[in-house]
Structure 1
Amino acid sequence: MEAAVGQLRQLLGLSPSPPHADIDEPKLNIRSVPASSAGFATWEVDVLVRRRAAAGHRAAMDSLDSLAAVVKAMPEMDVPKALAEAAGESLSESRLAREAAVDGRLEDAAVHARNSHAHAESAFFHPQIISLLYFPQEYKLAVYIPLFLPTLFPLFTGLMWDVKFYVRRTRCAAEHRRRAGKAD
């Protein structure tokens, strides 16, 4: 069992002694109890929870950054109220996660970070955003040109004929007026 626990510690990236074991920081909840060979010490669990909270917070911020880039890239897009609310909830949960981490409530920080990431992902994967991501403006042009080009060609040809007829008629009218002026 000791070998399995030791390998699990290595896979989780835990060191054999607590970080800052010589510094007594009650704010960080790090206890200088050495890791037992049969289980995990409290400081090891604290390190894992802190890492998880930080990873959740980072993932939420990455999702919100990506969402901001998408919205900025499409200025004509309407931002739905649900999307804005989800992004606001994500930021609120992120703030609560940071406050909980500062207070030493690591479990609460991890929960708030996970909620923040969930709200950020729901905002990024909002149905209106997804439909625009998979159907950008360039593709609309590629879809509609084959539909409208056959209609526009006869209209353009008719317009050209009308312009030619108008020019010819104004020339004939000017010539007629000129001839009528000479006859008098």
Structure 2
Amino acid sequence: MKTKIVRAVVALSLAAAALMAPTAANAYTDPAVISVSPSVAAPGGVATFTTDRAAYQGDEEIIISVTGGAAKGITLASVATETNDSLRSRAVNGYLKTPVRFPSNAKGVYSFTFTGATSGVVLHSSVTVTPAGSSTAPAKGGLAVTGFDSGNSAGLWVAGGALVLAGGAVAVGAVVRRRRSARS
């Protein structure tokens, strides 16, 4: 019976340690970084999305999806679009260089997804549109920020470490008690 308890505690400790390990999702990086110029746009203004390297194939068609308030009013090259997922652009020698015009009633954060029609390469970016005179944080390229920040999870790491130490202490205590009872 004592052996079963020790094995259960050790298994629980190992499971807790495995849950505290970084996951594979943290290892993903976009194949290129998108920069937005300007990082904060004005309503009716233009922001240009460019990549730091050739992520797409040659002159591949790029499918653009936009999420945000009044996203259906966003245009490319001064051509109005009916829906926000019908936007198309072309890579230039594999590089993304796409100017986007925001409608005059644009406001808030717009999330962009650029997908290569042939390669399937997916890049993400966002831009904030604010009226003149307002200030806000600049846009972020790369993956969307989801979940929690690893810098703010120190308490979870400490709790996980304490759980592993407690499991080890229980296991050592059980072994010591078994040896003492065997000597008697």
Report the TM-score, using the length of structure 1 for normalisation.
0.29
Report the TM-score, using the length of structure 2 for normalisation.
0.29
Greater length-normalized contact order (CA 8 Å, ≥ 6 residues apart):
2
Bigger radius of gyration: 1
More helix by share: 1
